[in-house]
Amino acid sequence: MNFMEDKLIDLAKSAGFTNAEWIDVSQIVCDRKFREQCAVNACGVYGKCWMCPPDIGEIDALIDEVKSYSRGLLYQSIFELEDSFDFEGMVEGGRLQNVRSRALDKGLKELGYKNYLHLSKGGCGHCSPCAKAKGEPCPFPEEALSSLEAYGINVSATVKGTSMKYINGVNTVTYFGIVLFRED
């Protein structure tokens, strides 16, 4: 691992993430079936956010885009819950994950990084509601974040090739994100 890779892991940890690790893009498992799962709309955001399906784009093109990168900084946050029915705790963890992702993104930009692809948890969450609700363009394209699942990434299968765990014990919820880079 080179100096900058070490530095970006430190940056992710300082943004608040529990763990961060570099992976090769060849380790990322993609599955176009995730688009069908999004369309079920269990999260209630399908078709209501510019960064979510179907507006984010066609699934095969997005998977091709993921595979066009070289390496990824995969990160996770593990949050404690009161019990397995602690829905409020899960929502709060999701909100914090997006706050941390944007802190990491700000740090990357301050270091001069650009042309990377940053994917966090489902739903951009930067505005409430998303400008999509009024059919208006996104006013914050630099801060908008899409999700691993919207790009067809099978997170549980991808994590198997890393030191991280997808599930981290009873009464916890874990959220992931990744920043994809091309070789210079």
Residue 141: partners with Cβ closer than 8 Å, 6 or more residues away: none
Q: Check binding of 126 to ligand SF4 (CB under 6 A).
A: yes
Structure tokens of 150?
């919207």
Residue 105: partners with Cβ closer than 8 Å, 6 or more residues away: 118, 143, 145, 179
CA atoms within 13 A on the CB side of 127: 18
How near is the Cβ of 50 to ligand SF4 at its closest, in Å? 4
What is the size of the binding site for ligand SF4 (CB under 6 A)?
13
Q: Check binding of 56 to ligand SF4 (CB under 6 A).
A: no
Nearer Cβ to ligand SF4 (62/144) = 144
Query: Site for ligand SF4 (CB under 6 A): which residue of 8, 59, 104, 130?
Result: 130
Query: Site for ligand SF4 (CB under 6 A): which residue of 11, 12, 15, 49?
Result: 49
Q: Check binding of 86 to ligand SF4 (CB under 6 A).
A: no
Q: Report the C-alpha gap between 177 and 184 in whole angstroms.
A: 22
Are 98 and 126 a contacting pair, CB within 8 Å?
A: yes
Question: Which residues here bind ligand SF4, judged by CB under 6 A?
Answer: 49-51, 124, 126-127, 130-132, 138, 140, 143-144
